[in-house]
Amino acid sequence: MDELKAALRIVLANKFLMYFKAQSYHWNVEGMFFPQLHDFFGKIYEEVYGSIDTAAEELRALDAYAPVSINELYNYATVEEDLAEPPAPSDMIQNLFIANAKVIESLNSLFELADKQNEQGLADFAAARLDAHKKHAWMLSSMLKEK
């Protein structure tokens, strides 16, 4: 059960950092495609944010505490922060694609553990989130293609 709780903490931290990254890009994007990217990043951060509370509640349902500080979230996260000026729009898309891939990776691990431990509700949560993040991956990867 401890391994399952740890996997869920990683998912929660990764989702939170991806949410913040998309929110930051929404605030800071500039350039010729500002309106489209501003809206796109807004949709991503809203969708991801909408699932963060459920992830924390799933952790509480396992009789574990959700992180109580940003530092604690960082300790679990595999998604990296942007540490400098806002990146160029194309780098924002690439960075979100990478962050989303890390979320997918952590959700796959969570799903496998939940399924193995007969935590069907948690497995269902992970499966639904995988579907949502696969859609993000498709959209982000489509934007990265140059034709």
The Cα–Cα gap between 47 and 12 comes to 14
Rounded CA-CA distance 117/102 in Å is: 23
> What's the pLDDT score for residue 50?
95
Q: In CATH, what number is assigned to the domain containing residue 68?
A: 1.20.1260.10
Closest CA to 25 of 34, 16, 15, 14: 34
What residues make up the domain containing 76?
A: 2-144
Domains: count for the chain: 1
Say what the pLDDT of residue 146 is.
79
Q: pLDDT tens digits for the chain (147 residues)?
A: 799 999 999 999 999 999 999 999 999 999 999 999 999 999 999 999 999 999 999 999 999 999 999 999 999 999 999 888 899 999 999 999 999 999 999 999 999 999 999 999 999 999 999 999 999 999 999 999 976
pLDDT at 84: 80
* 96 three-state secondary structure: helix
